[in-house]
């Protein structure tokens, strides 16, 4: 389905890693769209292809092993996969920015906070030192960092985990990008700081009509922050719906299993629900549906052919033979 008003449209994206053990199909035909002011959640177990999908969008897949082998990433009328490296350098940080899950790996311990937050302004806006200094302090203030005029002279190790996460967000948002990709941005934070950080991102989004992609395995974050959700498994999107729809009517067996794995307040159980087995080896994917070996509802065809995408209702799609057979 084509959405002419989409800010970003990913079509049949495929990213493979060529290793000694074989070809790892980390992203294997992913398609989704993102509108202005909208938040899309990418959820799934570790190794399902969420982060590689995001790195592929901004073409930061590690070479030479990693390669985008197919698909389109449409933004502003251009296919980003066709742009030169120089054109991508001009776009990253200015139009599309990314926040990684561990701020300590994003921040250089040898440079001050002020120096690191100022880089996007120097690179993309060519401002003078005085103007940059003012913009850096304004951005830190917008991210609720107290005493920004003092913080600019400090180093990453002098900040708490929550402060460091806000610093890398300030770097990502400095040039007012249209899209922010947040790769598990709350993993290193405690629950209280997580809530504050997500609330802050939503406030910034409302002020600037920012579109966001949030990668997470936490359905609590999805419920608080996301408008729509795409559930990934073994490099593919197996189910996609609005957040409310997905919580009310999870349909794919994998989505249902993820939901059942969540602890429920007030429920007394001897043992939490677990999904049997392990995610598949992406260099040796089983024939048919990749979830079939772990699926308690698998039928004969599941191990032979991958199911087509079915429309459950408007905006809710799913790939599972159970729905096909049910129809």
Question: Of 183-187, 202-206, 238-242, which one has max mean pLDDT?
Answer: 238-242
Of 133, 161, 176, which residue sits at a domain end? Answer: 176
Whether residue 56 lies inside any domain: the answer is: yes
| Number of domains composing the chain | 2
Does 248 lie in the same domain as 222? yes
259-290 per-position pLDDT tens digit: 988 777 666 777 777 888 888 999 899 889 99
Q: Is the pLDDT of residue 4 over 70?
A: no
Residue 298 or residue 4, greater confidence: 298
Closest by CA to 247, choosing from 267, 270, 272, 264, is: 264
Range scoring the smallest mean pLDDT among 204-208, 303-307, 323-327: 323-327
Whether residue 296 lies inside any domain: the answer is: yes
Q: Is the pLDDT of residue 1 over 60?
A: no
pTM over 0.85: yes
Q: Is the pLDDT of residue 182 over 70?
A: yes
pLDDT of residue 262: 77
Q: Is the pLDDT of residue 18 over 80?
A: yes
Does 250 lie in the same domain as 227? yes
Give 6: exposed, middle or buried? Use CB within 10 Å, 0-12, 13-18, 19+.
middle
Give the confidence band of 248 by pLDDT, cuts at 50, 70, 90: very high
Parent domain of 28: 8-95+177-326
Q: Is the pLDDT of residue 233 over 80?
A: yes
Does 236 lie in the same domain as 169? no
Residue 322 or residue 231, greater confidence: 231
Residue 257 or residue 262, greater confidence: 257
Of 150, 176, 202, which residue sits at a domain end? Answer: 176
131-145 per-position pLDDT tens digit: 899 999 999 998 888
Ordered alpha helix ranges (H), the chain:
50-57, 85-91, 103-106, 113-124, 129-142, 148-151, 161-173, 191-208, 219-225, 243-248, 253-260, 321-326
Q: Which helix (H) or strand (E) holds 13?
A: strand 8-19
Whether residue 45 lies inside any domain: the answer is: yes
Does 308 lie in the same domain as 211? yes
Of 145, 176, 207, which residue sits at a domain end? Answer: 176
Q: Domain holding 27: CATH number?
A: 3.40.50.300
Whether residue 2 lies inside any domain: the answer is: no
Mean pLDDT, all residues of the chain: 90
Give the confidence band of 163 by pLDDT, cuts at 50, 70, 90: confident
């Amino acid at each position: 389905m084509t959405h002419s008003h989409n800010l970003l449209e990913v079509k049949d994206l495929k990213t493979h890693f060529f290793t000694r053990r074989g070809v790892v199909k980390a992203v294997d035909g992913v398609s989704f769209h993102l509108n202005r002011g909208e938040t899309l959640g990418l959820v799934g177990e570790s190794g399902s292809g969420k982060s590689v999908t995001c790195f592929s969008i901004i073409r930061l897949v590690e070479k030479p092993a990693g390669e985008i082998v197919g698909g389109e990433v449409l933004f502003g009328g251009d296919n980003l996969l066709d742009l030169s490296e120089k054109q991508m350098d001009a776009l990253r940080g200015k139009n599309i920015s990314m926040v990684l899950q561990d701020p300590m790996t994003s921040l250089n311990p040898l440079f001050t906070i002020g120096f690191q937050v100022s880089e996007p302004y120097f690179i993309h806006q060519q401002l003078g030192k005085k103007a940059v200094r003012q913009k850096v302090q304004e951005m830190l203030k917008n991210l609720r960092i107290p005493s920004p005029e003092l913080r600019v002279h400090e180093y990453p190790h002098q900040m708490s985990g929550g402060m460091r996460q806000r610093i890398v967000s300030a770097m990502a948002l400095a040039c007012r990008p249209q899209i922010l990709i947040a790769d598990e941005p709350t993993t290193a934070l405690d629950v209280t700081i997580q809530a504050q950080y997500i609330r802050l991102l939503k406030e910034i989004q409302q002020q600037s009509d920012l579109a966001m992609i949030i990668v997470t395995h936490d359905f609590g974050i999805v419920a608080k922050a996301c408008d729509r959700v795409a559930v990934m498994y073994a490099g593919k999107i197996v189910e996609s719906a609005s957040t409310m729809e997905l919580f009310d009517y999870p349909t794919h067996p994998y989505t249902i299993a993820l939901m059942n794995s969540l602890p429920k307040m007030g429920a007394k159980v001897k043992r939490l629900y677990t999904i049997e087995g392990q995610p598949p080896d992406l260099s040796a994917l089983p024939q048919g549906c990749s979830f079939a070996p772990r699926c308690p509802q698998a039928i004969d065809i599941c191990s032979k052919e991958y199911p087509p995408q079915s429309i459950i209702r408007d905006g809710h799609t799913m790939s599972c033979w159970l729905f096909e057979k049910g129809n």
